[in-house]
Chains A and B, each alone.
Chain A
Amino acid sequence: MNTTEISRPTNGNAVRYLAPPVEIFETEQALVLTADMPGVGPNGATVEVHDDILLLEGAVERTHGKAPKHFRRRFTLTDPALFDLEQITAKMSNGVVEVAIPKATKPEPRQIKITAT
């Protein structure tokens, strides 16, 4: 089970997707999402971002002729302007995917010089 690939279903109705349980929390720097996808390795997981949509997928190839297991869940960022979507990171460890969406850095407050006319 070293290389697991997302196998695209030829018949969309044939695949049953499992919604992985998630934990979402906010730290000072980022919004962090963790999801349980046991059996999914780094090669079997995908995290996609389209505008304000975050799509999480994972596939587990299984032995003994059993159908592969598919995980899938989709989220919407309600206020994408608050985040730096270019800097999203994802890592996988022991079957848990962790996605960090860093908060956008606010520009420092500055004084505007008033010039006399």
Chain B
Amino acid sequence: MLYALTETNPLEKFWDLRGDFERLFSEAFPFQGPENGRKAFVPALELEEDDDGLTLHVETPGVEPDKLNVSVNGHVLTVEGERTPPADDKAKLQRSERSFGKFSRSLHLPDHYDSEAIAASHEYGILTLRVPKKASAKPRAIKIESK
């Protein structure tokens, strides 16, 4: 029963095409990953900065919070974890676009961020880290005194 689920949306052709480009690209510039034959999972990051600090969203769909590890070493913030595939060895794989395995992403935090005060939360497969700026680095108004 091969290809029991096929795509129908004509717009999806675009994605297939994109996949072709990606394949072409990855053949020309093969990724030297730790996985054998399979693309390694790299969580997507989103960074937002405001006056008070930095918010970092790490997309780790399918990863249980207890399989996530956040650490700070000096100025380096590291998020590590492992994504395990849902299918067991007996299952017949028909389509595989998701990737699995161990992952690690690190960010260098500039001096004016308070790496001691990082707060982490997790919801619906997104890890959110809040890194506040050091009080001395926050913008502040200087009061002008009139004589």
Interface, chain A (partner B; CB < 8 A): 1, 17, 19, 21-28, 31-34, 36-41, 44, 53-54, 60, 64, 73-79, 82-83, 93-96, 98
Contact = CB atoms under 8 A, between A and B. Distances in A.
B136 interface: no
Contact of B61 (A24, A36, A79): A36
Interface residues of B, number: 37
B141 interface: no
Interface string B50-80: 0000000001111111000000000000000
B61 A95 contact: yes
A40 B92 contact: no
A39 B91 contact: no
Interface string B116-127: 000000011110
Nearest to B58: A38
Contacts of B34: none
A94 B98 contact: no
A23 B95 CA distance: 5
Contacts, number: 124
Secondary structure of the A contact surface, majority rule = strand
B144 interface: no
Contacts of A37: 61, 125
Given A23-B96, A64-B48, A95-B124, A31 B61 contact: no
A38 B124 contact: yes
The listed residue with most A CB atoms (<10 A of its CB), out of B5, B8, B65, B95, is: B5
Nearest to B100: A23
B8 A25 contact: no
A23 B90 CA distance: 15
Contact of B124 (A26, A39, A53): A39
A24 B60 CA distance: 19
